[in-house]
Amino acid sequence: MFAKAPVAGGVKTRLAAVLGPSAAASLHAGLVRHALATAVQARVGPVSLWCSPDASHPFFERCRDEFGVALEAQRGADLGERMLRAFEPAWAAGGRLLLIGSDCPALTGEHLARAAGALEAQDVVLVPAEDGGYVLVGVARALPRLFEGIAWGGAAVMAQTRERLAQLRARWEELPALWDVDRPEDYARLRREGLLAEVLS
């Protein structure tokens, strides 16, 4: 799992304009803890938290102690390179890896189990995001070019990833799209669907 340190003004900046920087950072911390709980409870494999800008923030140490996860520092110039660095150890060991972010409270343990199962037959599994990105990617074999040349953060991430998978002649499966929490309308949906209290608990 990838996550940023919950520093006011440095996370959920689009929501900070509505909630204020401190409340936006608290929401981010709640989303991270919610996603970690989901990943651990799914029991599809050991869970590691890849931290940005490094693993030294006290919040990450508390997450390690609470959830029993390993901490790793994200490394790389952009998201694609940081994701590649996270996948490389699994590929070197001949294993499979699922990678999620912290922004999708709609992602459940059932999604993780289905994604893990998909990698029994597929090279790649993805859960698209409704905004054009994706909230989960799993890879069963070394595909280092998968993360190259993608316009990270834009609405074309999923489309560009499909193109890259086709170029690589990879077999992939997509699970139903989910929504993540980045914009004020996403926060309104979080409240409307009754997930806000769960995230902040």
Q: Dump pLDDT digits (tens) for 16-47.
A: 999 999 999 999 999 999 999 999 999 999 99
CATH number at residue 35: 3.90.550.10
Q: What is the pTM of this model?
A: 0.95
Q: What is the pLDDT of residue 50?
A: 98
Which domain range does residue 61 map to?
A: 2-200
d(CA 121, CA 99): 18
Q: Dump pLDDT digits (tens) for 61-98.
A: 999 999 999 999 999 999 999 999 999 999 999 999 99
d(CA 133, CA 152): 8
Q: Dump pLDDT digits (tens) for 140-163.
A: 999 999 999 999 989 999 999 999
Q: Dump pLDDT digits (tens) for 102-126.
A: 999 999 999 999 999 999 999 999 9
Q: Does residue 201 carry a pLDDT above 90?
A: no
Domain count, the chain: 1
Q: Which residue has the tokens 């989901």?
A: 38
Q: In this structure, are residues 45 and 99 in contact, taking their beta carbons and an 8 Å threshold?
A: no
Neighbours of 153 (CB within 10 A): 11
d(CA 141, CA 143): 6
